Amino acid sequence: IVWLRAGDMRLTDNPALHAAAESGNPVIPVFIQPPRCEEGGWPLAGAAAYWLHHSLVALQHSLSRLGSAVVVRRAADCGGSSAAALAALAAESGSRRVYYNASFEPWLVRRDEALEQELASQGVRAKRCAGNVLYHPEDARPDERTAAHGFGSVGFFLAAVATLPPPPPPLPPPRRLKPPAAWPHSLPLSELGYGRLPVRPDGTVEDWAAGIRRSWAVGEIGAQRALEAFVSGGIQRFEGRERFRADQANTAAISPHLRFGELSARAVLHSVRERASAPTFLRRLAWRDLAYWALWRFPHLPSRPFRPWFEAQAWSSDQPALEAWQAGATGFPLVDAAMAQLWATGWMPNYMRHVVAGFLVEFLNLDWRRFSLPVPRHGLRWFDYTLVDADTAINAYMWQNGGHSGMDQWNFVMHPVFAAKSCDPEGDYVRRWLPQLAALPVEYIHCPWEAPFALRAAAGVVLGGNYPKRILDDLEAARRASHAAVMAVR
């Protein structure tokens, strides 16, 4: 049995699949929808769940070309836990071995340890394989020497893994997977509900995911093409300052492929190293491992401030401001364009994530980690719900830093107008995502409130009409207030 989890959606460099294929025995790949209690409070939802559905469709297709398949099960139907579902599948199929790739979220580490014991008690051996990160968190050796790089920074992490053997080259995809004599029962993928879209009372489908489908080629083949396009084309622009541009596609745009394991980090590392000199990009990849290490070492990262005294920080409770941030209706075009891109495509580039996170924390002084029901509204949870690359480790690590309480706190403030000078100098990004502002000349595109009334009228822009008025008139005062709240606890 190869137990495929949400981060394993590939054939190439999939150590668990590779090991099972090499065993020479029949191979049964299985995906089990975990019960809520195994998800550590971070159930897959929204855009990321939608992505997983399509990634599973693509994986089924790739496996069928090798004469194999993915058996789909729900833990809820098979004893209520992943362990029980695997034990049942092992009993049905006569399998004695379960192969899987290691995860590092603390709740999954605990679950996997208990699961291995439960399977062992039923005569089934589990083999945990290494492969979804470059360096396993438990192998990193952070100490005083590495902390000299700035505790929790990427330099700190690179020093902590400097003496480890380099990540091995990626494994090839299996050429063949021996099928079992009879395929065990499998649910249709649709039963998992990950790809389900809401139906209106009149029976029509509310297709909020059309923009995601248009923007991405989900699955391993799409992932490899995206990586190839970046390595053969854009990587040198990334190494320069152009990686900060929002109006140009100068980053790899592979994060959802990495999140769902359609690409392995090792495959990305080796592909880049073979073809280009790209130290800045490779630091980004190391950042991903750093986030996994941080969550593994400090399990409370998604729920409590890393620096505990920030627990006492006084936050604003301005609900309309929060809703304006979410909806991309703050009246600050750069922020609103990014939130519109997020809503439409499930993604925005790193620089824009800094801009919108900074706006929420530094100017609106809204608590990034609060939890609200039924809609997850605040920064971290809103990203988790809307990003196709939603990743608990990276998301929490970055919001902690943006929210001042993290290991590697941001020492900069992204001003929603001035930041545009480097990331959207001609206003093309804003024009793309906020077409109602498209006719404004470049000097006003990021600050439409400053445009003379007649010019706005000629451009068809009505503040408070087809584009909102600013929710903050005095950014400097807002910034001073949030700074005072930080200084009171720091």
Ligand X SMILES: Cc1cc2nc3c(=O)[nH]c(=O)nc-3n(C[C@H](O)[C@H](O)[C@H](O)COP(=O)(O)OP(=O)(O)OC[C@H]3O[C@@H](n4cnc5c(N)ncnc54)[C@H](O)[C@@H]3O)c2cc1C
**Annotated binding residues for FAD:** 251-255, 281, 389-391
User: How far apart are the C-alpha atoms of 59 and 52, rounded to whole Å?
Assistant: 10
- Provide, rounded to whole angstroms, the least separation between the CB of residue 65 and ligand X: 27
- Provide, rounded to whole angstroms, the least separation between the CB of residue 276 and ligand X: 13
Burial of 435 per CB tally in 10 Å (0-12, 13-18, 19+): exposed
User: Which of 284/307 has CB closer to ligand X?
Assistant: 284
- Provide, rounded to whole angstroms, the least separation between the CB of residue 340 and ligand X: 16
Token pair 């559905």 in the structure block, residue: 53
Nearest of 410, 12, 29 to residue 219 by alpha carbon: 12
Q: Give the bridge partners for 72, in sequence order.
A: 31
User: Which of 332/467 has CB closer to ligand X?
Assistant: 332
User: Which of 333/402 has CB closer to ligand X?
Assistant: 402
- Provide, rounded to whole angstroms, the least separation between the CB of residue 171 and ligand X: 20
- Provide, rounded to whole angstroms, the least separation between the CB of residue 95 and ligand X: 33
User: Which of 255/482 has CB closer to ligand X?
Assistant: 255
User: How far apart are the C-alpha atoms of 10 and 27, rounded to whole Å?
Assistant: 15
Where do contacts with ligand X occur on this chain (CB under 6 A)? 251-255, 258-259, 284-285, 287-288, 291, 349-350, 353-354, 357, 383, 387, 389-391, 394-395, 398-399, 402
User: Which of 4/47 has CB closer to ligand X?
Assistant: 47
User: How far apart are the C-alpha atoms of 273 and 245, rounded to whole Å?
Assistant: 24
User: Which of 112/391 has CB closer to ligand X?
Assistant: 391
Tokens of 405: 């309480």
- Provide, rounded to whole angstroms, the least separation between the CB of residue 358 and ligand X: 9
Contacts of 176 (CB under 8 A, 6+ apart): 21, 66, 67
User: How far apart are the C-alpha atoms of 97 and 2, rounded to whole Å?
Assistant: 9
Sheet with 125-129: strands ordered across = 71-74, 29-33, 2-4, 97-101, 125-129
